[in-house]
């Protein structure tokens, strides 16, 4: 029997700075890994961010958004740069990213922090603590204190100025992020830790109640709960105890940055933003790195690993995803390093050459 060909449309949004360089590498990796697994990709490259501002006057043109909405997944490079930082019209490239997330209705942000064996020295933690760390933080992205009402400035009873915000979560908002987290844990190592502040906050008490109730639908997943202050401490004390962490918007904002520092290599870290249905958004966590843009110095691996997340969490194509992940490890094992992860004794390469090495590894490791 011949395996059936699956077809997907991928919107590519190269954006600004090093975005186009790293997207080009990731596109080739997707195409090759896909072809080996019977996947046929159609790519649509669209302007976004500063590049779109220059071209059309807006950071997210309608055509870019509608193309993204109609595709199976969206892969983004990076947005912004010095050039648009003092934009008089106050149309910043970064506003396009918020509009894109909204337009794609994504509410779950997945950020892995994996300490690769050959990059353990880059970690901010001691070798024995860092070795083998593989954590995924699932952060709720559209609710909680960043959006809750009422919010604002006022004065209190005795005339003092106050600022206030509200942490609100509805049961359905908690349930949908929890489902994504349980399913993410299922695709990983089967352990989920829900992080909250249920000893103090009502929104967290409801969070814990709903997550606990949902656990009965996922009997294969081992669920635990932890207060956020303890979780922040445990992440640097003994990060290996975690597999998948799920938490609200503000705690996730903080914990995912903390977790990323454990790895110590910004050029290596991918991310995914998922909704209930519809295309997910996949992008490296780093910015547009204008200081090295156009010099063939960027590390493309964060974007290549984002492409692997696209396959795994966006399309359910786990085999093709594994091919890309293995190829990244293989290229690193062979000693290839871009400047950001380079140390003495290794083979310093540029963005393009690293990309070619990844392609060779995809091709030869079957
Ligand atoms: P943001 O645009 O999200 O605010 P930022 O301005 O804080 O991001 P980045 O653009 O990520 O930061 O760059 C921070 C530093 O890391 C820069 O010195 C940049 O050159 C470096 N850097 C970021 N991404 C990469 C990469 N893929 N490869 C090599 N170096 C990188
Ligand atoms: Mg920046």
Helix (H/G/I), strand (E/B), else coil: 196: strand
Q: Is 197 a catalytic residue?
A: yes
94 lines ligand 1 (CB under 6 A): no
118-132 pLDDT, tens digit each: 999 889 999 999 999
292 lines ligand 1 (CB under 6 A): yes
Q: Which ligand is nearest to the CA of 293?
A: 1
Q: Which ligand is nearest to the CA of 297?
A: 1
- Report which protein residue has its CA nearest ligand 1's atom 9: 287
The Å distance, Cα 309 to ligand 1 centre, comes to: 20
Which candidate in 253, 297, 312, 313 is catalytic?
253
Higher-pLDDT residue of 130 and 85 is 130
353: enclosing H helix or E strand:
helix 351-364
pLDDT for position 365: 72
6-57 pLDDT, tens digit each: 999 999 999 999 999 999 999 999 999 999 999 999 999 999 999 999 999 9
Answer whether residue 1 shows pLDDT above 80: no
Q: Is 313 a catalytic residue?
A: no
293 lines ligand 1 (CB under 6 A): no
283-333 pLDDT, tens digit each: 999 999 999 999 999 999 999 999 999 999 999 999 999 999 999 999 999
**151-175: average pLDDT:** 98
Contacts with 192 (C-beta within 8 Å, 6 or more apart), sequence order: 181, 182, 185, 221, 222, 223, 224, 243, 244, 245, 246
**242-256: average pLDDT:** 97
């Amino acid at each position: 029997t011949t395996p059936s060909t699956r077809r997907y449309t991928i919107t590519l949004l190269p954006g600004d700075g090093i975005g186009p360089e790293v997207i080009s590498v990731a596109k080739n990796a997707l195409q090759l890994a896909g072809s080996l697994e019977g996947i046929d990709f159609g790519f649509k490259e669209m302007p976004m961010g500063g590049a779109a501002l220059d071209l059309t006057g807006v950071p997210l043109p309608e055509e870019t958004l509608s193309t993204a909405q109609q595709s199976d997944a969206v892969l983004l490079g990076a947005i912004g740069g010095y050039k648009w930082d003092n934009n008089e019209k106050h149309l910043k490239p970064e506003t396009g990213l918020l509009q894109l997330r909204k337009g794609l209705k994504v509410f779950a942000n997945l950020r892995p922090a994996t300490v690769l064996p050959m990059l353990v020295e880059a970690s901010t933690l001691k070798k024995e603590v860092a070795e083998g760390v593989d954590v995924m933080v699932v952060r709720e992205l559209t609710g909680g204190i960043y959006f809750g009402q009422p919010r604002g400035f006022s004065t209190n009873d005795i005339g003092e100025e106050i600022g206030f915000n509200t942490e609100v979560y509805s049961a359905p908002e908690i349930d949908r992020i929890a489902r994504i987290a349980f399913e993410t844990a299922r695709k990983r190592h089967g352990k989920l830790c829900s992080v909250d502040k249920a000893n103090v906050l009502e929104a967290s008490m409801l969070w814990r109640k709903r997550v606990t109730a949902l656990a009965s639908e996922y009997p294969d997943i081992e669920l635990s709960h932890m207060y956020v202050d303890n979780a922040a401490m445990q992440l640097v004390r003994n990060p290996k105890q975690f597999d998948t962490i799920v938490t609200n918007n503000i705690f996730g904002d903080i914990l995912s940055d903390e977790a990323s520092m454990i790895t110590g290599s910004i050029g290596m870290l991918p991310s995914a933003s998922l909704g209930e249905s519809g295309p997910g958004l996949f992008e490296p966590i780093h910015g547009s790195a204008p200081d090295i843009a156009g010099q063939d110095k960027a590390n493309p691996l964060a974007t290549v690993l984002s492409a692997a997340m696209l396959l795994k969490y966006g399309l359910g194509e786990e085999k093709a995803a594994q091919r890309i992940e293995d190829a990244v490890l293989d290229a690193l094992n062979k000693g290839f390093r871009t400047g950001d992860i380079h140390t003495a004794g290794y083979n310093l390469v540029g963005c393009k050459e690293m990309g070619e090495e990844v392609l060779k590894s995809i091709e030869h490791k079957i």
